[in-house]
Chain A
């Protein structure tokens, strides 16, 4: 954006947030031109010019957010909320330019209620920093995503994130009691104080998963837990994946309450577990953990192990389980993490137990056979378990992607189309916890079918000028 209009907008934004909290220089605009989505990173990596935001603003409170949205409405320019920039779906990309609204200045803890076990904090607070503050009081926010070091509280909620211990404690969306949200027209609203009641429909959940397309979450009250007295972890090895999934299902449906079941498929066991944890194993590697009071956790573990051993799994003992827990984020540090110039993507999905195995193999087959010429690698682990089903975190890796950026985009999108078609045809959701962003936006109509127009109507009612994060979540 150039010329008089650009200066008008700049001057109005500056009045709202102050000069130090507004950036328009090329350097900042380039840094904010990519989040953790493979495509824009690859694009920059190949030296291609990205679509940059025009402005980056760092508001300090909901009132400033409101004023920014009103300016954006006046000039009909996009607003893209930004938390930690750690989203892998392109949800924070300014594909049409506009205003990046970085929430990180809104990073205060407003209240820790040690009686009700809740914390109220601004949405821009860093996840790990929030956790440190809670741990100092013997508490925890039981949402431990791999992105905790960099993501924000708003970023936990906006794409309906899931953490490592969700199997017991739930997804981020299950932990939220109430929120303050700024609507696209600048109206500041607060949802009811508690989520469980019968005073009308659960409309506040609209903002969970909207990824900034329906408003900006500026504050949230979250449910806490005491730090557990004990965390009992161990690892087991199954001969085959089917037995391991069935053992996991039995543990979950008997409500033995593990805080984690991390089941690596044989390919992942042979590659990632070996590379990061150093164990050379054949089969399906499972880490299982129970926490809380030590005696109760031990009893739950004993019951779970009875199930596991019935399937002929080998008990590898505590050390490999604890080692996984202690190094669970090491997978994400370069050079250990998946990184460019490789092409990779996480096609994670979720469905019910009756469909999960069929879905996993259907996707695996479609991707492996469809891109055999690229020597594609397909790996996965099952890591967020529910009473009714499980998420499978499937990934593809191509170590020799095209050097040409445009050709790489085409290949990337073909792989995704193949994977998502298999997912949708086999009863899966296009995503369980990374969110939709730009990457999965094109599958939303297929995902929701005749339910989609309702969301369209809601979008139109809340954001008639379509300023909020355009191009994302199907809008």
Chain B
């Protein structure tokens, strides 16, 4: 599969318009075609894996933008992750990649610590790594929202990486270990339904596990996106909110294109939070570009920063001074540079939590 995508993509330019890194770096080399051509050329003996070619290999964001716009569904991100695995095994990856892997393998988290969970309930909330370690206020708000609709949840995966980061960096065995640990925790909680807070984790459970790690999500456990769940509660009247007001721009989170079914529900939540539809970015919905909240923040921080700044620049052009998003990782990266663009970053779940009423 890996070799097929590389061969098919090496001379294909059809996702160029949607590919985020090429767009912000203006460089043919770091487009999906460029990266595939580099990998294909290594296979043909025209290049070897050296610091400059490995830098290119690690420029792919693994956010699914190329695949989301591919008519023939080439799995290039997975193919690149597989090549990174080979490069890592050869000891040729950048030092920062090994450093973050060491932390992931040791703690189960890329950003802090993974906490053990002990509760049990019919419904579990998969908190994840970024929410717990980078935006804890987001988690608090989510609990408040769930309390407001009288849903008792068992928090699981607190500070836990699902395996996405390890897999994306080129460590599939570590990813597999983390994935199995997550599934074990879910089973231990006895949940029949798992709410997932972050889009990256939803992608991991739904797609990355079966496609890259050969792990199947337990068929008897329902996997539900938290934002979609809350939007449904709002529509049913179970989630009752005070009228919101405000003028803000909504930014689709990193990995948004991998979960297009969320585009509508999350905007319904924004409507409720603002009392009006949010302003939209140019890079929105099925063409939503990521910020730097991917493995790029470790392997290619220059690109991670360029991606984040490009979204902030896009936001500034909409005219609103407030930027709204539900994803903890996206919020964390936006916040780093937002003030330089005269923008304030608000968490969607935080905003909604302030509007809850009995």
Contacts and interface: CB of A to CB of B under 8 A. Distances in A.
Whether A associates with B in a native complex is yes
A336 interface: yes
A32 B33 CA distance: 11
A102 interface: yes
B45 A47 contact: yes
Given A26-B52, A31-B37, A36-B11, A150 B46 contact: no
Interface stretch (A78-86, A157-165, A195-203, A294-302): A78-86
Interface stretch (B70-78, B110-118, B159-167, B346-354): B70-78
Contact of B47 (A20, A26, A41, A45): A26
Contact of A30 (B8, B9, B27, B47): B47
A340 interface: yes
A58 B27 CA distance: 8
Contacts of B188: none
B292 interface: no
**Chain A: interface secondary structure?**
loop
Given A25-B52, A27-B52, A126 B44 contact: no
B56 interface: yes
A449 interface: no
Contacts of A107: 26
B34 A150 contact: no
B50 to A, nearest CB: 8
B34 to A, nearest CB: 5
A30 B26 contact: no
B3 to A, nearest CB: 13
A21 to B, nearest CB: 7
A129 B18 CA distance: 8
Contacts of B23: 126, 129
Contacts of A82: 28
Contacts of B297: none
Interface string B35-51: 00110110011110010
B12 interface: yes
Interface string B279-296: 000100001000000000
A133 B11 CA distance: 27
B53 interface: yes
A333 B72 contact: yes
A127 interface: yes
A336 B29 contact: no
B1 to A, nearest CB: 13
A333 B22 CA distance: 19
B47 A27 contact: yes
Interface in A132-164: 132-133, 136, 147-150
A332 interface: yes
A27 to B, nearest CB: 4
Most chain-A CB neighbours within 10 Å: which of B8, B16, B37, B302?
A: B16
B336 interface: no
A47 B45 CA distance: 7
A335 B26 contact: no
B83 to A, nearest CB: 14
B52 A126 contact: no
Nearest to A335: B8
A30 to B, nearest CB: 6
Given A329-B14, A334-B74, A340-B11, A102 B44 contact: no
B38 A30 contact: yes
B26 A84 contact: no
B282 A58 contact: no
A20 B45 CA distance: 27
A197 B41 CA distance: 52
A105 B18 CA distance: 16
A311 to B, nearest CB: 34
A149 B52 CA distance: 27
Contacts of B147: none
A31 B17 contact: no
B47 A102 contact: no
Given A23-B29, A128-B17, A337 B53 contact: no
B26 A333 contact: no
A28 B17 contact: no
A85 B47 contact: no
A27 B56 contact: yes
A25 B38 CA distance: 12
A69 to B, nearest CB: 19
Contact of A21 (B9, B17, B26, B47): B26
Contacts of B12: 332-334, 337
B38 A27 contact: yes
A32 to B, nearest CB: 6
Contacts of B29: 23, 27-28, 31-32
A132 B18 CA distance: 11
A327 B14 CA distance: 13
Contact of B27 (A23, A47, A333): A23
Contacts of B45: 47
Contacts of B13: 36, 84-86, 147, 149-150
B15 interface: yes
B17 A41 contact: no
A44 interface: yes
Nearest to A25: B52
B342 to A, nearest CB: 20
Contacts of B71: 327, 329-330, 333, 336
A339 B11 contact: yes
Contacts of A28: 27-29, 52, 56
12 contacts: A27-B50, A30-B38, A31-B28, A36-B11, A45-B44, A85-B28, A86-B13, A104-B27, A107-B26, A124-B26, A127-B17, A148-B17
Interface of A: 20-21, 23, 25-28, 30-32, 34, 36, 41, 44-45, 47, 49, 56, 58, 82, 84-86, 102, 104-105, 107, 124, 126-129, 132-133, 136, 147-150, 327, 329-330, 332-337, 339-340
Given A26-B47, A334-B12, 10 more contacts: A20-B302, A23-B29, A25-B52, A28-B27, A44-B46, A47-B44, A85-B28, A107-B26, A128-B18, A335-B72
